[in-house]
């Protein structure tokens, strides 16, 4: 197992998936470090990537209002890919962040090839849809 595989296994949520799933999730992702006060996702832009937060935190800002804070184990940017829509919020790092990033194509491949990963993504998206409706 690589260091990233071990990181994933220790995360809440996704860390409960089987080791072979985490290995594939890690293989198709790209580990990135993002500095504090950086905005990797802008509201109303096309969705081209999804992220898994490995360390650090991001604020979710919709129409100028902070609506959530994401931390280790959180998926970020998946809603635009799941719904095939423009980004519904801006994400800004509050401190240095380490993420695993997937292109739109690799994220779709993971969902198609790994049913347990797809179920995790659908569960997260369903929870977010519910939270957004509240």
- Residue 8: which of 26, 20, 29, 28 has the closest Cα? 26
Structure-block tokens of residue 120? 């995790």
Q: Rounded CA gap, 41 and 35, in Å?
A: 14
Question: Can you list the domains of the chain with their CATH numbers?
Answer: 3-133 (2.60.120.10)
Render pLDDT for 84-115 as a digit per residue (tens, 0 to 9): 999 999 999 999 999 999 999 999 999 999 99
Q: Rounded CA gap, 119 and 110, in Å?
A: 11
Render pLDDT for 23-80 as a digit per residue (tens, 0 to 9): 999 999 999 999 999 999 999 999 999 999 999 999 999 999 999 999 999 999 999 9
């Amino acid at each position: 197992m690589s260091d990233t595989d071990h990181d994933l296994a220790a995360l809440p949520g996704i860390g409960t998936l089987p080791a072979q799933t985490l290995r594939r999730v890690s293989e198709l992702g790209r580990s990135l470090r993002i500095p504090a006060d950086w905005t990797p996702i802008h509201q109303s832009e096309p969705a081209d990537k999804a992220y898994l937060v490995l360390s650090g935190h991001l604020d979710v800002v919709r129409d100028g209002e902070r609506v959530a804070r994401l931390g280790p184990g959180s998926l970020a940017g998946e809603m635009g890919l799941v719904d095939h829509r423009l980004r519904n919020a801006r994400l800004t790092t509050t401190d240095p962040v380490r993420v695993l990033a997937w292109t739109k194509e690799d994220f779709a491949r993971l969902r198609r090839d790994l049913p347990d990963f797809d179920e995790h993504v659908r569960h997260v998206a369903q929870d977010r849809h519910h939270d957004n409706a509240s």
